[in-house]
């Protein structure tokens, strides 16, 4: 088993943190995991990307070529990384951030209004955690418990808000009809 | 030591970056002094040191620049403590003069260099292996240093500890060479138990302080490594970057003193190269083609070698863990049955030079270069292997 996950968006959305949470959760679940990240020198804005390779064997190459799962949170990232998802792979994206959703290829598309859901919870900064809830629910790689433990370990402040965001993501993605 | 650190950290299984692994390695190796100047992609080293060192009653100083950082590290080391700094290409360039000073004065110190794209300020957030030659030859004059290149986060931690041990053992600067990819990559790391960590005791001396010569050779294990006594022990200890005699006093016009000293600085390491030179090999016994790699590039290289073996190509893999000194004799022996060597590097050809030198004209040496930030893909290296004609 080897799964590549790519999370992409712009700087400030917590793209790298989301990658860390997934990687740490995978390790807590007993897998090997490598998380890498790529971003420009800006503190906010600019494109941001984080990749996680999860495997039950030793991981040589630490990067993701075609992702099994793409989590996408900006138009620029959608145009660039959605096509870099493997055939039949899952693309979870926030439709309100992506006006142009045209894409060829054979993918399972999962819309999740993460930014809106996060705003309704009080702050859009937890949109990334909403996305992780959606990811956990539909991908069935990492257990809910490990994801929550990882969130707790990675974000010591405002834990309740983040757990609510995570659960809202899980709940809302269930409405999708493939 | 380990227990105290595990208690402070709260656990011994961590999911951390390569940069952070150098911090935990240094803490476990009993590093007492860190001086540095933040620079992408090495900032997390300074950040981690600033968090943990004061909690352990140790010293972490943010200096005004990289020249001051390495100078402070050398000064701290002269008082007998383990000391480290961390930087990236532009800062490493600034440190070169003092690295030569540390070689000449035989002051142990550990320098972490998280390589980014150069020259100049280049690509701050992108990975490169552009400092391979600079690490060996960046400072002027003949000298020898030790450089280690880990491939994973766990190995970064382990080799940082080893860097301190080698630096103390040979009284030489040791460079731990990471790159932006490994420095910022997260993997699972287990903090090793204290029994696995060799914190060398300082060698005791029964020489009377008046007769003590800090740079007297043939002292330790009949080797060429001097028994320097650090400042504050009551010995007359003098250090200088000038050519000096066994007392440490400048003697700058004698060819004999200079030759004796500089040759010893090199031989003290090369005489013992098999204890300094670490490498890993994979499927080399029947190999006709060899991939030689180091650092992060070893990971796609290992995948590429596995892909090629599945196609029946007789290819092996050598991973240089110690990249300097270069073990000419041993590498020549490892390559004696191959007709082609492939060298993937994240530069336009650096480590390929000593490899070419060692194999001579009978073996074809092919460079697989890559610059710009992204590491090689396994397919890319596999393509080079597949194209080899015997």
d(CA B373, CA B43): 18
In a domain, B223, yes or no: yes
* Distance of residue B1 Cα from the nearest chain A Cα, in angstroms: 24
- Whether B186 and A65 lie within 8 Å, measured CB to CB: no
What fold does the segment set A2-173 form as a domain?
Pyruvate-ferredoxin Oxidoreductase; domain 3 (3.40.920)
Clarify whether residues B306 and B257 are in a common domain. no
- Whether A62 and B184 lie within 8 Å, measured CB to CB: no
Clarify whether residues B47 and B118 are in a common domain. yes
pLDDT along chain A (178 residues), means of 10: 95 95 96 92 80 96 96 96 96 96 92 96 96 95 96 93 97 82
In a domain, B203, yes or no: no
Residues of chain A contacting B123 with CB distance shorter than 8 Å: none
- Whether A41 and B125 lie within 8 Å, measured CB to CB: yes
In a domain, B149, yes or no: yes
Clarify whether residues B24 and B143 are in a common domain. yes
- Indicate the angle between helix axes A15-28 and A144-154, nearest 10 degrees: 130
Clarify whether residues B333 and B287 are in a common domain. yes
How many other CB atoms are there within 10 angstroms of residue B1's CB atom? 13
Clarify whether residues B191 and B231 are in a common domain. no
In a domain, B221, yes or no: yes
- Whether B302 and A60 lie within 8 Å, measured CB to CB: yes
Residues of chain A contacting B299 with CB distance shorter than 8 Å: 60-62
Are B25 and B160 a contacting pair, CB within 8 Å?
Answer: yes
* Distance of residue A176 Cα from the nearest chain B Cα, in angstroms: 33
In a domain, B299, yes or no: yes
Q: Provide the pLDDT for residue B238.
A: 87
Q: What are the b/e assignments for B297-320, b being 16+ CB within 10 Å?
A: bbbbbbbbbbbbbeeebbbbbbbb
In a domain, B24, yes or no: yes
Residues of chain A contacting B291 with CB distance shorter than 8 Å: none
ipTM: 0.93
Task: DSSP letter for B244, please.
Answer: B
B377 contacts chain A (CB < 8 A): yes
Q: Could you give phi then psi for residue A38, rounded to 5 degrees?
A: -145, 130
Clarify whether residues B262 and B296 are in a common domain. no
Domain boundary at B274, B299, B326, which?
B274
Residue A31's nearest CA partner among A4, A7, A58 is: A58
What is the total count of domains within chain B? 3
Token digits of residue B239: 């250090």
Domain boundary at B257, B274, B291, which?
B274
In a domain, B230, yes or no: yes
Strand pairing report for A67-72 and A85-93: parallel
Q: Could you give phi then psi for residue A148, rounded to 5 degrees?
A: -65, -40
Q: Quote the domain boundaries for residue B360.
A: 280-386
Task: Name the residue in chain B with its Cα closest to that of A40.
Answer: B125
* Distance of residue B47 Cα from the nearest chain A Cα, in angstroms: 16
Domain boundary at B274, B305, B331, which?
B274
Read off the CATH number of the domain in which B182 is found: 3.40.50.970
- Whether A61 and B378 lie within 8 Å, measured CB to CB: yes
Residues of chain A contacting B374 with CB distance shorter than 8 Å: 63
Task: Name the residue in chain A with its Cα closest to that of B187.
Answer: A34
Are B326 and B157 a contacting pair, CB within 8 Å?
Answer: no
Clarify whether residues B23 and B139 are in a common domain. yes
pLDDT along chain B (390 residues), means of 10: 81 94 95 97 98 96 98 96 97 98 97 98 96 98 98 97 93 97 97 64 57 70 76 85 94 96 95 96 97 98 98 98 98 96 98 96 96 96 94
Single pTM value for the model: 0.94
Clarify whether residues B267 and B289 are in a common domain. no
In a domain, B202, yes or no: no
B303 contacts chain A (CB < 8 A): yes
- Whether A34 and B186 lie within 8 Å, measured CB to CB: yes
């Amino acid at each position: 088993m080897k799964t590549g996950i790519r999370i992409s968006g712009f700087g400030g959305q917590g793209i790298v943190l989301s990658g860390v949470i997934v990687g740490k959760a995978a390790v807590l679940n007993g897998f090997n995991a490598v998380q890498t990240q790529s971003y420009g020198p800006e503190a906010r804005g600019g494109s941001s990307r984080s990749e996680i390779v999860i495997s039950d064997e030793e991981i040589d190459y630490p990067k993701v070529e075609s992702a099994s799962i793409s989590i996408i949170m900006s138009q620029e990232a959608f145009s660039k990384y959605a096509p870099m998802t493997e055939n039949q792979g899952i693309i979870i994206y926030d439709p309100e951030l992506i006006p142009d959703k045209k894409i060829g290829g054979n993918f399972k598309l999962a819309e999740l209004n993460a930014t809106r859901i996060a705003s309704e919870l009080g702050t859009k900064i937890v949109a990334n955690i909403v996305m992780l809830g959606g990811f956990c629910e539909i991908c069935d790689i990492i257990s809910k418990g490990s994801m929550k433990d990882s969130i707790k370990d990675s974000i010591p402040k405002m834990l309740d808000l983040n757990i609510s965001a995570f659960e809202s993501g899980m709940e809302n993605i269930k409405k999708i009809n493939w | 030591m380990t227990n105290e650190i595990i208690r402070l950290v709260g656990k011994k299984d961590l999911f951390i970056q390569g940069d952070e692994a150098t911090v935990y390695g240094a803490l476990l190796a009993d590093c007492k002094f860190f001086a540095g100047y933040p620079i992408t992609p090495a900032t997390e080293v300074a950040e981690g040191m600033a968090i943990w060192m004061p909690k352990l009653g140790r010293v972490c100083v943010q200096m005004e620049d990289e020249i001051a950082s390495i100078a402070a590290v050398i000064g701290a080391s002269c008082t007998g403590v383990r000391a480290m700094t961390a930087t990236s290409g532009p800062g490493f360039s600034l440190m070169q003069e003092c690295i030569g000073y540390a070689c000449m004065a035989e002051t142990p110190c550990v320098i972490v260099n998280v390589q980014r794209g150069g020259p100049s300020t280049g690509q701050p957030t992108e990975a490169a292996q552009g400092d391979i030659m600079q690490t060996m030859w960046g400072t002027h004059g003949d000298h020898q240093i030790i450089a280690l290149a880990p491939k994973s986060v766990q190995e970064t931690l382990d080799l940082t500890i080893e860097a301190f041990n080698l630096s103390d053992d040979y009284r030489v600067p040791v460079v731990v060479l990471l790159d932006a990819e490994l420095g910022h990559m997260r993997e699972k790391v287990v903090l090793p138990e204290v029994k696995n960590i060799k914190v060398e005791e300082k060698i005791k001396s029964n020489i009377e302080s008046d007769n003590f010569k800090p740079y007297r050779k043939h002292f330790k294990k009949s080797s060429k490594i001097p028994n320097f006594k650090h400042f504050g022990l009551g010995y007359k200890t003098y250090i200088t970057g000038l050519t000096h005699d066994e007392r440490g006093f400048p003697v700058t016009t004698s060819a004999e003193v200079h030759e004796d000293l500089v040759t010893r600085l090199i031989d003290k390491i090369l005489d013992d190269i098999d204890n300094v030179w670490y490498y890993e090999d994979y499927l080399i016994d029947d190999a006709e083609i060899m991939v030689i790699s180091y650092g992060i590039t070893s990971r796609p290289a290992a995948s590429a070698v596995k892909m090629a073996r599945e196609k029946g190509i007789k290819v092996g893999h050598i991973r240089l863990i110690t990249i300097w000194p270069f073990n000419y004799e041993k590498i020549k022996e490892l390559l004696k049955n191959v007709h082609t060597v492939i060298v993937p590097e994240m530069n336009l050809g650096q480590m390929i030079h000593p490899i070419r030198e060692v194999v001579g004209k009978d073996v074809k040496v092919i460079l697989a270069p890559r610059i710009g930030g992204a590491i090689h893909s396994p397919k890319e290296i596999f393509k080079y292997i597949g194209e080899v004609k015997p």
